[in-house]
Amino acid sequence: MARDDLITRYREGPDVVERAVAGLSDEELDRRPADGGWSPREVVNHLGDSEMISAFRLRRLLAEDAPVIQGYDEEEHARRLHYDVRPIGPSLAALRAARETTASILDRLSEEDWSRSGTHTESGPYSVQTWLEIYAAHAHDHAKQIREALGL
């Protein structure tokens, strides 16, 4: 996918997730899929936290030379940060804020900026372009996960 298309997809993420959870009751937000995965509530709370982390990762890639990007245990975050009971409103707001502030940075990157990279502790070489490819899909993938958890 072309860079401009990836940036457009990245910008669309909050709207896609908000549509996926619009009008859901607490019962629906807490419904676990048959495979035992995360409920829609847990997915949204993951997105709020993960997108703040991802926004900082991009900033480190741009502002530091060859940063080490630390991975984290998503399941442990979900458990310790109470993804199963937190309200989703603040996480939706965090998702939107992280994306909007980061998109304003993406709009200003030079070709030199796009070539910057570091090392991810779990996946190895990690460039600004790789970051964009991952996070352009992140919210869309989780919106699909929410719809599937609800049987939609």
Q: Give the pairing of strands 117-120 and 68-69.
A: parallel
The structure tokens listed for 79 are: 């458990």
Could you tell me if 141 and 37 are in contact, meaning their C-beta atoms sit under 8 angstroms apart? no
Which amino acid is it at 152?
L
- Say yes or no to pLDDT of 151 above 90: no
- What band does 34 get if pLDDT is binned at 50, 70 and 90? confident
- Say yes or no to pLDDT of 152 above 80: no
| pLDDT reported for residue 86 | 98
Can you tell me the mean pLDDT for 10-26? 98
pLDDT in tens, 96-149: 999 999 999 999 999 999 999 999 999 999 999 999 999 999 999 999 999 999
- The residue among 147, 146, 123, 149 whose CA lies nearest residue 134 is 123
- The residue among 6, 12, 48 whose CA lies nearest residue 140 is 12
CA end-to-end distance (rounded Å), the chain = 27
C-alpha span between 83 and 88 (Å, rounded): 9
Q: Which helix (H) or strand (E) holds 38?
A: none
The pTM of this model reads: 0.96
| pLDDT reported for residue 144 | 96
Tokens 């049987």 sit on residue: 151
- What band does 45 get if pLDDT is binned at 50, 70 and 90? very high
Share of the chain above pLDDT 70, in %: 100
